[in-house]
Amino acid sequence: MDDINTLRRILSQNRVIAVVGLSADWFRPSYFAAKYMQEHGYRVIPVNPKYAEILGEKCYASLKDIPVKVDIVDCFRKTADIMPIAEDAIAIGAKVLWQQLGVKNEAAAAKARAAGLEAVMDRCVKIEHGRLFGGLNWVGVNTRVISAKRPRWLAY
């Protein structure tokens, strides 16, 4: 899933993200990424049995406990822990299994794809959103996205 257009479509069409392994500690990458996505209009649903609430949202012990439709299952877990999460993502009817930076479970991704989900590995939703929707290039980061067209989703 390194295709820019595919990543852009996934992030523009899917607005509810269940973050598995979200930490309530502000200094953790999962918290930072979830807060960023929340501030950019996404609904973030925390999945972590250790907490009752994170970022003002009720925290759930597992994906199967979430009472609303989930679009993206964002995995902040070790590669070895991804297969059961992928199975739960399939069971709840999610559209995308997203494995964060450093997480590459090929078998779980293949199982998700076979069930009709899209699968992204070794990518951060926050970084990809900033790269593709006009945040990182404003501070001088080379996003490798070149276009003479003004993005339609930006307000200016």
User: Residues 116-138: pLDDT tens digits?
Assistant: 999 999 999 999 998 888 765 54
pLDDT for 92 beyond 80 = yes
pLDDT for 145 beyond 90 = no
Over residues 32-54, mean pLDDT: 96
pTM of the model: 0.86
Cα atoms in the Cβ-side hemisphere of radius 13 Å centred on 76: 21
- The alpha-carbon radius of gyration of the chain (Å, integer) is 15
pLDDT for 22 beyond 70 = yes
**CA torsion angle 54 153 72 41 (round to 10):** 20
